[in-house]
A = this chain, B = another copy of it.
Amino acid sequence: MTPLSDLTEYFSACKADIDEALETLLPSAPGCPSTIAKAMHYSVTAGGKRFRPVLTLAAADAIDSTSAMGSSRALALPFACAIELIHTYSLVHDDLPAMDNDTLRRGRPTAHVIFGDGLAILSGDGLLTEAFTVMAKTGSREDAEAMGRRLRAIGAVAEAAGAAGMVGGQAIDLEASGLNKQLASGPTTQLDADALLDMHERKTGALIKAAAVSGAIIAGGSDAAVNAIRIYAQNLGLAFQIVDDILDVEGAAPDLGKTAGKDAAAGKPTYPSLYGVEASRNHAAEAANRARDALRETGLESRLTQIVDWVVSRTR
């Protein structure tokens, strides 16, 4: 195992592959009307660490390291891209005036500021749909087992992104923030600790989990391996969210797409507001330990281990 400092290089190399693949697969004129192509391209190329798609590749690599099948990068890369397309669509829709009403993201004006609300909504719809086009495309000579894995991975991603997962989490958040039109004049719902956990597990946790799990499935992981990576990613997502909340309180540049201090200002509950910063740090550390244990018990220690180390140590 290489030292943690090495992870930066791994991330950069993965990110370069992902960015190149995204550039190739995004629809463009003349097959696709130019305005919508431009709007989709704008949001996908707005920057970002590509945390989720790198996780997909790292999960596939972890499975590869335990098997004699060779690299499954070519199979995992489209899924990594699909995860990033879905993540990007969710940011575009979340930023809309009807939702979080954010005008800046990663230092650039949000999609609706540039293209108007209507086209921003459509560009999000286009990105979400494109993700499935990308995942459904089979390679040549794909056998029954490979196709079965592909369908299972598509199902896992769709379920995570849908109303029981990410979309449902955003709906809970919307309601709790009192932004729901019907509730705007009434009292806002205050989430308790359990409801907060549920909201985050759906809103950000589900897609992080699907990012890793889809990589593990497509690489041909056994049921036990896929399950270990599921437990790993669930705890990784939790640690990621808690650290994000702490960084938000401390005013550092946040990652999950919020203006610093904005959650607290909006009266949204956060881990630090419920537990305090110290106990929140402990929660994150415990989740990180559970993530590491899941890998160790199945012999899957890999870049995935380094990623969880990075998540709990990051300062921005």
Contacts and interface: CB of A to CB of B under 8 A. Distances in A.
Interface string A121-150: 111111011101100111000111001101
A264 interface: no
Given A147-B144, A159-B133, A118 B99 contact: yes
Nearest to A156: B136
A158 interface: yes
Contacts of A154: 132, 136, 154
A98 interface: yes
A119 B155 contact: no
Contacts of A128: 125, 128-129
Contacts of A137: 155
Contact of A98 (B116, B132, B168, B175): B116
B118 A162 contact: no
B144 A117 contact: no
Interface string A70-97: 0000000000000000000100010010
A287 to B, nearest CB: 23
A161 interface: yes
A49 interface: no
Contact of A118 (B119, B161, B168, B180): B180
Contacts of A158: 129-130, 132-133, 136
A104 B255 CA distance: 40
A33 interface: yes
Contacts of A132: 132, 154, 158
A117 B179 CA distance: 10
Contacts of A197: none
Copy total for this chain: 2
Interface stretch (A34-42, A266-274, A290-298): A34-42
Given A33-B171, A124-B125, 14 more contacts: A32-B164, A39-B171, A40-B163, A93-B125, A96-B121, A98-B116, A115-B180, A115-B181, A116-B179, A128-B128, A129-B161, A132-B132, A136-B152, A143-B144
23 contacts: A32-B163, A35-B171, A36-B168, A98-B98, A112-B181, A115-B182, A116-B184, A117-B181, A119-B174, A119-B181, A122-B167, A122-B171, A122-B174, A126-B163, A132-B154, A136-B154, A136-B155, A138-B151, A143-B144, A144-B144, A144-B147, A147-B148, A147-B151
Interface of A: 27, 31-33, 35-37, 39-40, 89, 93, 96, 98-99, 112, 115-119, 121-126, 128-130, 132-133, 136-138, 142-144, 147-148, 150-152, 154-155, 158-159, 161-164, 167-172, 174-175, 179-182, 184, 202
Closest 9 CB pairs of A and B: A116-B181, A144-B144, A98-B117, A126-B163, A129-B162, A36-B171, A136-B155, A147-B147, A133-B158
